[in-house]
Each structure stands twice: as C-alpha cells, then as structure tokens.
Structure 1
C-alpha cells in the first residue's frame, strides 16, 4: 500500500515505543489492559494468509509473529526445489527492529539447505520424506532477502523493498534499523522512512522517497582505545531522530540516516558496564566466566542475555542484570544531551522473588 497511508495509520494508533513495542489492547483471559507487548521476533514463513499478523498476548507472555510464505522472493532467481531433490527451501523471517512509531521491519531469508532423503513413511509413492540435514546447499550462494515495513496493529504492509544487490549486499547484515520522519517542519504523521545499517564509516541506506539502496560514506567516529570497531549484538534502536547501533560490551553509535553525509557519534555505556575488549573474539574468558558463576560446559553467557538498550517513556535507557545473588537489576537513562547516563533504579530481584515475584511468573 502507499507509504503515506501505512504511516498515517500507525500515527493514528498512537504507537510511541520500541521493539518491546506499543499496542493498546485488552487480554480477555486475564481481564487486564496493557499498552505494550513482547514480541517473539523470529519465525518460519508459512501459510497463505494475505498479510503478516501478530497474535498479541499480554506481557510477560510472548506475542507471536506469523508471516505468509508468498512474501519471500526466490533466492537470486533460483527455481523452487523439486520435492524429491536433496535440497529444501527454508524461509526464515525476523522482525529486525521497530521504528519509534511501532512499525516493524521484516526480513525474510530464502535459504536452500542440503537435506538428503534417507527414508519414506506412509504410502509407497508420495509418502512423507524423512531427511537428514547436512548444511547449506551452496556455501557460495547468499540467501535471498525480502524486506517489508509492517504495521502490526492493522496488518497493513508496504511494497517489498528492492533487492539488495552487488557490493551493497555485503553490508546487509542483521542490524538494519528503521526510522520514520514527518514533513512540514517535523509535525504531524510521518510521511517517509529510512532503512539503514552502519559499518565503520559506510552506511547502507534505503529511502522511501527514492526507492533505492545506496552506500554513503560518513565522517570518522572516534571509538575508545583498543576498540577498533563496534559489533552490534542487539536490534537497532530508533530514538531522538537517529538510529542507534548497540554493542552491549561497551557502547553505541548513532547517526541520522536521512543525512547524505552521516556523522556517526559514539556514546559509551556507564563506566561500570564496560566489558573487556576481547569478549567478541573469545566470548567470555575464564576469569570473567568464574566471576559470572556460569560454569556450564561449553556455554557462554552472551551480553544480550543480560543487557539491553531500548526506548521507554520517551527516553533511551540501558538495563543490565548482575549474575550473582541478589541478581541486581540496574536501569540507566541517557542524558538529554547524550553526554552520559543517570542511574534511575537498582533493584535486587532475589528480594522480589522472595516476596512472591511477579503474579504471572513462577
């Protein structure tokens, strides 16, 4: 559908939050009203419904994303696999991020997997195939990608964004962000959007008004010593007219994707939250592993499991949970000028659990 109708519909609904995003609704089973939801961001595209859908559930339960398979483009023009071939088509869908208005950016990967038929069950001809999966069918073949902007409240969806081709495809990872912007001096409903990903000084960008992907070169961003690059490990966040790419080990970079000369700016996490620079290279080393009291053989406690940057109440916030009793949850708010973080809350979760915990959780 036309962009202005899609975005105007969202504005009319009053969305004003991030990927734990807003949707005013009532849970008839519990009789509770709620204004935000938790989304299970990944799913397999399946079925023939005309449009995607979110099955809303009140938090802390997860709302479920459903995406029909007809939205996926064929991988680089490849034909559909024959049912009797040793290749299977998997359509993996992810809600990459949300805009500040609650729109979702959907990414559908068309993946071809080697899956040898080892037996058949049922009728001699056409019975169910039992397969042994062995990996990607062709390691040199990049999966086909389809991107859409989706309104989860009324199920309206944009036209498929153009395919990312050539050198641009190398920059298209899993950290695309979505930012909307209003015309007429910034007032009224949004009338355009940008989808972008930042890699060093390069930005891969799609603008709704041009309808094309392009690569821009931005200014150099100074990172702390010993940190040659920022490696995002959560979804991009839209806040304060910019997209924020977050490395939960040490900080975030923000930039305006509507600018033809992006000027990325680095914001460090609170001083006590900086992790060693080698975390990305080796996971959590033995010293840190002992400090975290996380000793499962071969397991690694990744930063995204206990840290998060997001928008709540109109502010950019950072939260983290400690790993030992009493499991302290700390919440920080970024100052208005972006110069630093202010500690707002520090709560011992063990005490809450001792007092009965959350009524919906054991």
Structure 2
C-alpha cells in the first residue's frame, strides 16, 4: 500500500538575506495544494440518522486526493429506502467543473413512494436529483420521473457559461428501435420542465447498449462501449445526432460481452480530448497477449481516432514499480483515465486502485480504495467518476494519504510534474534517482560545448523536472564561435516528436547583400551569417538546413511542425508578410523533398505591422504570435495554405507599438490541455486598476471566440500563505509560461526564482531557483524558456535526467545590482533580442 506524493517545495531566501532578517518564527509544514479533480465513488453513502445541526444540507463530500476515492453522503430524505445490491443511490453524471451531480435515487416503497398510476402502467418509481456540490443545500428533484425510460442513456450538461449556479440541462436519449427517429427528453433549468425533441436516428436496427453519457465540447456523448458514440447539442433549437464509430477493429457483435464490457473499456475526457481506453480480449483459439490501449478522437467534429499508446500487461508487470506494489500478475479491472494526463490509466485489483503511465509502463500511484459498494468482484468503470472540481471545492482542504517510504524509482506523479518525494518529511538523498516528467521547461539559449571535450553527439540535454529548467548543450560544430549577447544559439521551437528548431547565427563583418530575382530586387547591408538547424534530441544529431534562395527574414516568424501523416517528416516554415499588401509568402522547407519552396498566400490583415514573438504548432497547424494584436494560423503542409487571423478580445488588443519590446514579460500564448491559451498580466498605466493575471481559452481551433477561464489579482496571491512561504517580495513578476497539461497553473520569474501559481486557487504550487545560460535575470522574458512535451524515449527516464542542473547549483547567481554593473560582459536590456525584418510596401 503506497501513495505517490508530490512534494511542494517552496524555496527560501539566501542565507545572507535570512540572517539579515533575523531568525524566522517556527512554521508548520505547508500541505500540498489540493488537486483540481477527484475520483468520486458512484454509489452514495446514506447517513444513518438525520443530524439536526445539518438539517439544511442535502449532501456532504469527503474529498480525497487521487488515487483515493472521494465519497458522497446524502440524507435519508433523498434516499429513504434501505440500500441493497439492487436498490441504491447512484451518481449518473458529474458535469465537469460546474459542481453539478445527477443522482438516481429510490424514493422508498414504504414511505410515500412516487408511483406511476396510468392506464398502461402502474409501478413504484425511482427519482432523479440534480445536486449542487458547491452549496450542499440544493438537491433539486426532477419532476415527472415517469417520463424517464433508461438512466443509462441520461446525461447532464452545464450551459456554455458554466460555473456554479449556472444553467444546465438533463437529457435522456430515447431511441425507437426499428424507426428512423428518436426522442431527446430534455429538462432545462431555465424552463423548469421537460421537453421532448424529435430527432433523426441515424443508426441501423441494432440495440444500443447504454453505458452512460459524457459531456465534452458543449455536447453530450452517449456511449455504447461495443459499437459507437452518439453526439448532440441538446441546447440547440433543432438538435442533430451524430454517430462516431469506435476505432477500427473495436466494434463488437451485438450482445457480445453484454453486462461486463465496462470492466474492460471506458470513454472519458482527458487533457481536453475524448479518449477511448480498451483492454477487451475476444475469446479466440490463439489469444493475443493482454494489453491496454488509449485512443484519441482527433477533433470533436471528426470520426478519426488516433492510437496514442499501448502496452502489454506483461511489460507493466515486469517493471519494478509494479513489483513494489505487491500485487499479483493478474489482469485488473479498468477504472478510468486521468482527466489531465492521458498517459495515465487507473485500474482496480485486490482492493487497490492504481495508476499506470501506459507510455512508460510504470505504476505511478497505488492506494487501497474505499467504496460504499459494490464488492470487489463486481467492480467496473461505472462505479467511479473522474470529477473535475469547481473552484469552491478544489481550493478546499482535502484528505491526503500519509507520507510513506517509497521505492526511489517511484518518485513521480500522474500529473506529469515530478519532484523528489518526501522521506520522513525531508528531501531524498542526493544519490536517489532523479524524478522524470512528461514535459520540461527548456532554456531557449543553450550552452556551447568547447572543442575537444570528448562528446561525440551534436547535442545533449540535461533534463530536470519542472519548475527546474532543462538545459540544451550544442557542440562547436553547431555553434563554432564564443556566444555573445548579440550572437548566440537560440531554440525557436520544441516539438513533442523530440525535434528542436535552432537558430545559430554568427557575427560577420559588415557586407553588402544584393537580391536580384524575378520576385524582387533589393540591396542591404548585413553583419550576420544566418544558420538554422533541426536537432533530434533522441539521436543527438543536428541537421544544418540549406540556405533558401529567398533569405529568412525574421527568426521569430520561423516555426517547426511534424507531418500529420506521421513518420519522421517535418516542415520548417516562415511567414513573410508584406505590410500594406494583401499578399504574403510562406517559405517552407520539407524534409520529404529536402529543399525550400515558396507558397504565395492571401494576407488577411490590415496595414499594421505584425510584431512576431514566436511560432508554435497545434492541431496540425502553425500559429504565428503577435502578443499585441492576435495570432495567424495556417496549415503549412497544404498545397494552397490559407491564413486565418484570430484576434484577441477587444479590450486585449493594444495600440500599434504599445508595449513594444516588453510584451513577452507580461503576455504569453501557448497550448495547455489540448487548447490554445492566452495569459495576460499586462496593465496599461491607468489609475485604480489592480494588477492581475488572467487566462483565456480559444474555444476551438477554428473559432475566433476567447473564453475567460480564470483570473486572480496579485494581491490575492500575495496574501496566501503559500506565497509567503516562498520568501519572495510582493512585486509584479515576469510571466514565464502556462503548464501544458493544467491550464490553471501559470509560471512566473521573480528574483532568480521560477514559481507556479494555481490561478483559480490563488496559491503557489511550485517554486525553485532557476539558472539559465543567458540572459541575466533583469532581461528575462518568456521567450527565454520553451514548454516542451517530451517523446516517450525521453520522458520514460532513458534520458539524462538529473536532480539538479549544475548551473542552478553553482550559486545564487548575480544580484540585480551586480548584474547591471557587469553589463559589458553579460549584456544590456537591448541585447538577447529576436532579430529580423518585415517587408513593407509604401503607397503614395
């Protein structure tokens, strides 16, 4: 029995500063911040007696950190009957992050049951309740329960506005077998009554097996684990059903594995995408080795599933992390998928609930579980719910398992952010294996290895789990000259395939450069030799990109994207707009053809300079970022790419040249949990506006709509004891990045420290001293780090992971004052810039 712990290590000031302040008062150990989700037991506990002191409460929750199970308790007035194996209150659905639960409960046969008394039907009746967990005093009984036919086809969907106390809809799909139509029975909190909507039913004459409903992307997804999903938007005036078949080869015959399939399969949302988890095996004469596979629905509007990863149970059993659990080598029962990290899947086995990183074939969490029911031999995925908590609950105190000694190899967390685990309340020995992670914070400026140091590889990476910074080292072959504040190697993009795009421009004496071709003629003076590399971090190799006929104009417009067809193909592309013109060029290098190609495109922007700060890839496209205005996106692999401009909300658009040169200290755009996020701390110089951080989400890659996810004033963050424990001053920090798997967590630079803040909870969740190759701390901005999701070969621990980057341990680093004094060596605020030019046409 063990439980992996995440150690919240809040760093302190230097010894000199601490001594000057005098001995600190004794403080209690800081508890780790509560998780944003729980594993909720589906069967609720019924309190034995009515507590007069809590007469108004219709529910209570015992929240526990995963993999422990949280339990719901309801009073006898909601379930007055006796709980039996055939008669029990059950949570049918949990509307993510709204705090709403849909509960199915018997009203009792002896104490005034609800009875259907109609000419065609007479029977006792169950009743369904909508519970608001944020108030605990709002159990709303849905009217006319006799209208409901099968709660296995029921779902709960919060209105688009979301949030506690917001609108919702309870929906049951009522197919008419043999007919080409069905009914959606819809109860809206706005109207307070049921409405039956007739819809076209697109399936053939086959029985639909009800395995519940999942809410995702503003729709309900009715699940049949043997066949398909059916998606619809019940809020639409004229809803339409859309059938999404399971991945190829996963459809079962009608009636196959009836009643037991949810021991082996589940559908859920993880990191913002629908996932299908499968471990079902057909009974054949020559069965395959049992395995677990995770599939991803590429987009809510498509039918395309992608196999993310799979592993045989023999591989999992062979790992020492599984041996450490003491569990037998038996096929477990599937429980759920981690809602934040799709690599992690949970299982039941012998009174234990354990999580497995399927990519790494490692157990990352294990704990004895407690459920009201059923007994272990009857367990299935329907008896637990992955429930993302509303802020009112996620910021509450939770019960966590006690810290126990763990095998050194198990110091990891399912969230993908790892730290040395506690050992009796202290950090592990220095010789313990370092933690690994599914992602890292990569310093954009690499170290350059001097000639003759013996390393054969072109590159190497010293990995460290966030919030520490991983450092790239390149050979003198890649960058043969000593770096300076003007000429230095710089990582422009980091891809989950393991590929990195590196600029390695060298300084040269001023020379005249003439361009004379059919497209244009120009004369310029240049003191730079442009050099760009694609680095393979898995093999340690560096490929020098050939020089294009048309020069690369601006390194901040250069991006890297891997081919959507898979394989090892990639494309490097630069967007070259001509300000004042309605045309632009995408300069593309494809690894398949090995040369640069110009693609002419229409340019949709007004005649205003586009101020580039970087390029990232998402959803099969490149996204060029201007932090003052908006983002340009396009599919560079298309024969005829189309540019689309996604503008920020009106109040976030800055005037031309406003914040010039410093916006990436206050704003950031990146991908988190599968969606594009915009983080903003910029404050115009106006009186009365309190500084704050806000996180915005692009609703869909094809939309222009931004939604405010969460925001917090810095005063609220500073007031929390988690911030006080860091010892940092109450200054507005420099924005660094957003957590790529948890959009609630944003990272900041301040006083040689990199710390993460849960913006919803207003809490510091991580803090560590950082050290970069460059620049000095007073020049820091978010372009000097990259969020890098790692390929399996690197995240599985096979790479060079360390407990400490030696750069970060060599000392406290120069102070702001001493750094300024040594500006001649370290550079000035005008150095370490992104260089380039933008063509412009002049009219008149």
Fold in common (TM above 0.5): yes
1:306 aligns with one of 653, 661, 666: 666
Aligned positions of 1:15-164 closer than 5 A:
27-28=419-420, 34-43=437-446, 45-48=448-451, 49=455, 50-72=457-479, 92-112=488-508, 140-152=525-537, 154-164=538-548
Aligned positions of 1:167-316 closer than 5 A:
168-183=550-565, 189-200=566-577, 201-221=584-604, 223-224=605-606, 227-232=607-612, 234-279=613-658, 283=660, 302-316=662-676
| 2:621–2:633 Cα contact (<8 Å) kept | yes
1:335 matched residue in structure 2: 699
1:278-331 per-residue CA deviation (whole Å, 9 max, x = no partner) reads 427xx4xxxxxxxxxxxxxxxxx7111110111111111111114487531111
TM-score, structure 1 as length reference: 0.67
| 1:196–1:204 Cα contact (<8 Å) kept | yes
Deviation at 1:176, TM superposition (A): 0.8
Shift of the 244–93 alpha-carbon distance from structure 1 to 2, 3 Å rule, reads: same
Q: Does 1:347 align with 2:712?
A: yes
Deviation at 1:210, TM superposition (A): 0.8
Q: For residues 52 and 27 of structure 1, what CA distance do their matches in structure 2 show?
A: 26
Q: For residues 497 and 679 of structure 2, what CA distance do their matches in structure 1 show?
A: 22
Question: Partner of 1:143: helix, strand, or coil?
Answer: strand
Q: For residues 249 and 332 of structure 1, what CA distance do their matches in structure 2 show?
A: 15
Which structure has the greater CA radius of gyration?
2
Deviation at 1:35, TM superposition (A): 3.0
1:81-138 per-residue CA deviation (whole Å, 9 max, x = no partner) reads 9xxxxxx9x96211101235453111211223xxxxxxxxxxxxxxxxxxxxxxx665
Q: For residues 161 and 235 of structure 1, what CA distance do their matches in structure 2 show?
A: 19
Q: For residues 52 and 302 of structure 1, what CA distance do their matches in structure 2 show?
A: 31
Q: For residues 195 and 209 of structure 1, what CA distance do their matches in structure 2 show?
A: 11
| 1:326–1:351 Cα contact (<8 Å) kept | no
Q: For residues 145 and 322 of structure 1, what CA distance do their matches in structure 2 show?
A: 33
Q: CA RMSD in A?
A: 3.4
- Greater shift after overlay, 97-106 or 309-318? 97-106
Shift of the 91–155 alpha-carbon distance from structure 1 to 2, 3 Å rule, reads: farther
Q: For residues 137 and 27 of structure 1, what CA distance do their matches in structure 2 show?
A: 49
Shift of the 91–328 alpha-carbon distance from structure 1 to 2, 3 Å rule, reads: closer
Q: For residues 102 and 272 of structure 1, what CA distance do their matches in structure 2 show?
A: 37
1:202-242 per-residue CA deviation (whole Å, 9 max, x = no partner) reads 11110111100122211231x25xx534221x220101111
Query: Please, which runs of 5 or more residues in structure 1 have no aligned partner?
Result: 1-10, 17-22, 74-79, 82-87, 113-135, 184-188, 284-300
| 2:667–2:682 Cα contact (<8 Å) kept | no
Q: For residues 204 and 279 of structure 1, what CA distance do their matches in structure 2 show?
A: 29
| 1:306–1:321 Cα contact (<8 Å) kept | yes
| 1:92–1:111 Cα contact (<8 Å) kept | no
Q: For residues 557 and 447 of structure 2, what CA distance do their matches in structure 1 show?
A: 19
2:678 matched residue in structure 1: 318
Shift of the 25–277 alpha-carbon distance from structure 1 to 2, 3 Å rule, reads: closer
